[in-house]
Structure formats: C-alpha cells, structure tokens
Amino acid sequence: MLRLKGVFPALTTPFEKGAVALDLLRHNVAAYNATPVSGYLALGSTGEFPHLTADEKRRVLEAVVEEAGLAGRPVIAGVGELSTAAAVAAVREAAVAGAAAVMVVPPFYYRPAMDDAALAVHYERVADASPVPVLLYNVPALAGVTLSPVLVERLADHPNIIGIKDSSGDLVLLGAYLQASAGNDGFAVLTGSGSALLAALLAGAAGAILGVAGVAPWECAGLVEAVARHDLAEARRLQGRLAGVEQQVLDPYGLPGLKWAMDLLGYFGLEPRAPLRPLDDDEKSRIKQTLYTTGWLNAC
C-alpha cells in the first residue's frame, strides 16, 4: 500500500498553440526529478483536467508516469468524472496507465443532493472497484462541496482509501480531518495550501500536494525536511518565501499566474487553455516585478 508523505507537485499541463505539449511536460517532470519531491499529481485542478479530452488525459498520464518512473517517483492521477460509473471507469484506466493512486473529486453537479450519505456511497463504490489506492479531494472553492469530518472518519476505515488532500486552506477543518482519521495509521492528511504548509505539518499533516511546488519544489520539500528535523527557524524562512509567491502571484492571478511564473523560473508553464484567460502584458510585468522584489528571479 502506498503511504503518502512529503511533497507532491500538482503538475500543470503545458499547451502549445492549443495542443498538449507532452515534450515540455516531460521536461518539467525531468527537472522535478532532480529535486527531493516525493512524487507527482497529474490531471489535478492545476493540470486543467476539465479542459482535456479523454485521450489527452491518457497521454498526459502515460507521459508523466514514464518520466517519473526514471526517478522511481509514484504518480497520483486526478479523477474528476461526476457519475460513479464514470469515476469507476476512470480509476481503472488510470491504473492501466501506471498511476500508483488516484485522487477523486467529489461529484458536485447535483450539489444539493450531495450529502454525506450520497458521497459515502460514491467514494466507497469507487474505492471498491479501484485497482489502486484512492485519495479523497476536498476542494470547496472549485467543487462547491465540502467533505465533512464525519464522512472522512467513515471513509478512512475503507482499506483502499489512503488519505485526503484538503485544499480548503482552513486549518480548523484540516485539524478535524486529522482527528477523524487518528485511528487509521495508513490514512494520510495532506494540505493543498502552500501558505498553510508549515502550520499543517505542525498540526500533524503527512505532507502536501501543491501547485506552488511547480515553481518552488526545493523550497517545499526543504520545508518538510526542516520540520522533520525540528529546525523551525529554517522552516519559517521557507514558509515566508512560499507564502510570498502564493499570496502575490497565485492568489491574485490563479493558474495563469502560476504558469507565467514557471516560464520565468525555468520551467514550461505557457498559457492556459480556454476558457481560462491568459495574462495580459501588464499582469505579466507585475508578476515579474514581484519575483524580482521577493528574490526569486535574483536567485536564478
């Protein structure tokens, strides 16, 4: 059984002239392979999974699995289908493509009906059918559904559900997840917030799946390592650097901002796929100035 700990970059999907650029995606993963990250998430929210066709998703996952395998890194595949039957099919396809685990978005379209009972049945059926371990995904800002601690306590008992990524940024909720799953040693609580990484680790989180790790893999992994060796001064220093990027680039400019920061820092982010809007020249200039001011570009 895969045990989740450390930092997993949430990979972006590069597009050239509107098409998925698998060679540039491989370049990014190869660069991350040289850092101390624990593995990767492909086809997550940062990877623009809703904007990819089924064939593109398969090819992206296969490319990431192949490149990550050169460094012995596991790949978690995002699964965002909204029906239970489609999610079951998707987790099986992800396993065939080589994913070590899957992260399943809660079904959200019929949100008023998505109570704990409906979500429990969905996740349990997907986990029963999945050839690989399942990770829950709490992302209320995008899905509009919050997985309750009561639900997580129930699902943590399932032998094929190994953790949850919490992207709410709510440390009280993350603490409730930790308490709800305290009796399950194989269940990992991971944060999806770079700004809250240090606080989450100190609260007991096993690690993180982060978009900001796409521009700061060394810093994210270094923060986890600093906490593990009880070097809080270094951990606080690294948290300050990460928080600056999240709060001044990712929070105001979103995924297009992250992709442009990647371009500036030696990776291939490129533009997002429509209907996400690319940055204009003024926005790009402001981000570039921010990275200079905060020392990110000076360090390169």
Catalytic site positions:
165
CB neighbours of residue 172 within 10 Å: 8
Burial of 250 (C-beta count, 10 Å sphere; 0-12/13-18/19+) = buried
Name the H helices within the chain: 22-33, 54-69, 84-96, 116-129, 140-143, 149-155, 171-180, 197-203, 217-228, 232-245, 251-264, 281-293
Are 268 and 28 a contacting pair, CB within 8 Å?
yes
DSSP of 240-284:
HHHHHHIIIIIHHHHHHHHHHHHHHTTS---PPPTTSPPP-HHHH
CA distances, 89 to each of 48, 86, 96, 267 (Å): 20, 5, 11, 33
Distance CA 275, CA 94 (A): 26
Handedness of CA 54, 60, 64, 67 (dihedral sign): positive
What SS3 class is residue 74?
coil
CA distances, 59 to each of 43, 65, 136, 252, 282 (Å): 11, 10, 23, 31, 34
Q: Lay out the sheet containing 161-166: strands in order across.
A: 6-9, 207-210, 188-191, 161-166, 134-138, 101-104, 75-79, 40-42
